[in-house]
Amino acid sequence: MSSIGGAVVWMTGLSGAGKSTLANALHGRLAEAGQRSVVLDGDVLRRGLNSDLGYTLADRTENLRRVAHVAALFRQQGFVVIAAVISPEHQHRRAAREIVGEGFIEVFVNAPLQVCEARDVKGLYVRARSGEIPHFTGITGRFEVPLAPDVDIETDRVSLDTAVATLLAHLAEVGHLSGLPAEAASHAF
């Protein structure tokens, strides 16, 4: 149980799995409840803080190291940080957990590749399959499925509301919702 209340909800999964959608929905529900939270979206960070990085293994590792350090800073201030980042390898998630420390919650935003491809409004999977985007996770770049995530959300099987409720219940259960006991927090949402 955290005495600070801060936590890092580290959402990992393929492009198109629903990480950003789920992150923003969770952020909205936390805001409604008066819980300080922030979303660190991998795509947004790649356009700013991490715009100098590509998609090689070394660049991905550095990208995620930076995200984890920013997340840790917010967590230390009592925020629930929602990091929506592909983080394709076990080593990336392990390193993020070590950097963040207490309050790290690994969430596998789990959707089959064919579902992710069907959701792809940007056409990234088509471009990756044609060879236009090298090292694209799930096509020419590997994605190591989390072995023991704290929460596994199958976004092709549950509604967004159910997914958010699952995450809120987990946050309450592990003591990361601003002093609300788990039972009260689950009913408050």
- The reply to whether 14 sits in an annotated binding site is yes
* CA dist list (Å): 96 to 31, 69, 107, 126: 25, 8, 13, 30
Q: How many CB atoms lie within 10 A of CB 120?
A: 16
87 is catalytic: yes
- The reply to whether 18 sits in an annotated binding site is yes
* CA dist list (Å): 31 to 22, 67, 79, 160: 14, 22, 11, 17
C-alpha dihedral over 126, 128, 131, 132, to 10 degrees?
90
Question: What six digits make up the tokens of 15?
Answer: 């492009």
- The reply to whether 13 sits in an annotated binding site is yes
- The reply to whether 17 sits in an annotated binding site is yes
- The reply to whether 33 sits in an annotated binding site is no
- Listed in sequence order, the residues at least 6 apart from 121 whose beta carbon sits closer than 8 Å to its beta carbon are none
Among candidate residues 37, 51, 87, 186, the one labeled active-site is 87
15: which DSSP letter? T
Rounded Cα gap, residues 43 and 29, in angstroms: 22
Q: Which residues are annotated as a binding site?
A: 13-20
Active-site amino acid positions:
87
Binding site members for ATP:
13-20
